[in-house]
Structure 1
Amino acid sequence: MRYFFINKPYGCLSQFSAVEGKKTLADYFKVPRDVYPVGRLDHDSEGLLLLTNDKTLNHRLLDPGFAHEREYWVQVDGAITGEAIAQLQSGVIINIDGKAHHTLPCRAMVFETAPPVPDRDPPIRFRKEIPSPWIRMILTEGKNRQVRRMTAKAGFPTLRLIRYRIEQLELGKMQPGEIIELSENTICKKLFYDAH
C-alpha cells in the first residue's frame, strides 16, 4: 500500500484524469497508476489531500460514521462578527443537492493575525476598504462545498479556503504542489490512533 499527502494548488481538479482546459493532479504529482485521492477538494480550494491505493483507508476517511476532524483556514469577505462565529459553531442550515441540511456543531475562531500561508496564484481580489480576515474552522463532516456554504450563510463569503489538517496530519510548511510519501504506520498513527 502507498500513502501520499499533498498540498493541492488552487485551480487544480482533485483527479488524475484529464479535463480539457483544466489542470489536474497529474500536472503536479507523479504517483503509481493505482493511487487515487481520498475525497476531494474543490477546484478553487487548496491544501491537504491524501492519495492512496488503500481502499480500507478510503472507506474509513469518507464514511460519515467515522467522523474525523478536518481543519480549514478560511479567508472571508468582511470583518466577521462574534455573532457570525457563534452561528457557525452552533450549525447553520445549508442547501445540499436541493435539500436543507443543518450542519453539525463545529469549532470556529478568528485568527488574531493572518496565518502563515503561501501566496496564491492568482491572488484574491484586494479591496482596501473591506477587511478580509482569516478564521479557523474545525469540522467533523464534509458535505459538498460545506465551508463555503456555511460562511456565506453567516454573511461572510469565503475568499480563500485551505484545508490545513485531517486529524493529526498537518500541512505544516508544505508549499502548493509539494508531495510527501508516508508509511502505513505513520498514516494510521496520525489519522486514527493519536486522534482519540
Structure 2
Amino acid sequence: MNTIRHRYFIVHKPHSMLSQFIGTDKGRMLGELNYPFPEGTHAIGRLDYESEGLLLLTTNKKVTRLLFQGEVPHKRSYLVQVRGIVTEETLLQLQSGIAIRVKGGVDYTTAPCQVQLAQAPQGLPELPHDLNPYVKSSWLRIVLTEGKFHQVRKMVRSVNHRCLRLVRVAIEDIDLDLQNQPPGTVREIEESAFFSQLCINNW
C-alpha cells in the first residue's frame, strides 16, 4: 500500500490577495502566484485581503486541526504599523488584555500577550497608500496564541491607533525571511522540518 506524500509550502502572501484558490469574492487569489502547486493544496490559517506575510499551504487536510484546533496553543507573530506614537501605557494595555468586539457582537477580553515596539521591517515594498513621511507612525511586534477574527486590528483600534499595515512574520518557529523571500514567492519545506518547527508532535 502506497503512503500518500503530502507537501508543505511557505508563502509570502502579498497585500491585496485572498488566501484561497477559488471563490466568489473579487480580487487576486493564490492561483496567480507563479508556482505549480499540486492539486488539493489549501491554506492553513488565512490572512485577510489587506494583510501580508507568512501563509502556510499544504495538501495535508489534518494540519489545520493539529495546529489551530488542538489543545496546545501555538504562537503567531506579527509586525504591525499603526498611526501615531504608541506609549508605554498603551503597550501595557495591549500586553495585559483588552476588550474587543467579536462575532455576534459580544465583548471579549484578549488573553495576555507579548507586545513591544519594533523597527520598521526591511524588505517590504512600499504600498500605493503608504503614509506621507511627515505623518508619525509606530511599528509593534505582537505575539498571540489565539486568533479571533481580525483580532490584531481590533486590539490596536481599541487603544485608539489605526492599523496601517499588518504582516505575519512567524508561526511558532517557522519564520518568514522578509529580505530573502519577497512578496509572492513560495518555498517548499520537508514534512519533518515543517512539523518540527511548528512544535507539533505525533503527526
TM-score surpassing 0.5? yes
- Show structure 1 runs of 5+ residues with no match: none
Query: What is the distance in 1 between the residues matched to 2:32 and 2:130?
Result: 22
- Contact 2:68–2:74, Cα closer than 8 Å, also in 1: no
- Which aligned segments of 4 or more residues in structure 1 are displaced greater than 6 angstroms? none
Confirm whether residue 122 of structure 1 aligns to residue 121 of structure 2: no
User: When the two structures are superposed, what TM-score results if normalisation uses the length of structure 1?
Assistant: 0.92
- Show structure 2 runs of 5+ residues with no match: 1-5
Q: What's the counterpart of residue 60 of structure 1?
A: 66
Higher helix fraction (1 or 2): 1
Q: What's the counterpart of residue 16 of structure 1?
A: 21
Query: What is the distance in 1 between the residues matched to 2:106 and 2:67?
Result: 24
User: When the two structures are superposed, what TM-score results if normalisation uses the length of structure 2?
Assistant: 0.89
Query: How many residues get paired?
Result: 192
- Contact 2:76–2:172, Cα closer than 8 Å, also in 1: yes
Confirm whether residue 167 of structure 1 aligns to residue 139 of structure 2: no
Q: What's the counterpart of residue 39 of structure 1?
A: 45
3-state DSSP of counterpart to 1:72: strand
Structure exhibiting the larger radius of gyration computed from Cα positions: 2
- CA shift for structure 1 position 70: 0.5
- CA shift for structure 1 position 136: 0.4
Confirm whether residue 100 of structure 1 aligns to residue 107 of structure 2: yes
Change in 2 beyond 3 A, CA 1:85/1:25: same
- CA shift for structure 1 position 118: 1.1
Change in 2 beyond 3 A, CA 1:64/1:82: farther
Confirm whether residue 71 of structure 1 aligns to residue 80 of structure 2: no
Tell me the amino acid that sits aligned with residue 167 of structure 1.
E
3-state DSSP of counterpart to 2:122: coil
Tell me the amino acid that sits aligned with residue 182 of structure 1.
I
Query: What is the distance in 2 between the residues matched to 1:187 and 1:162?
Result: 21
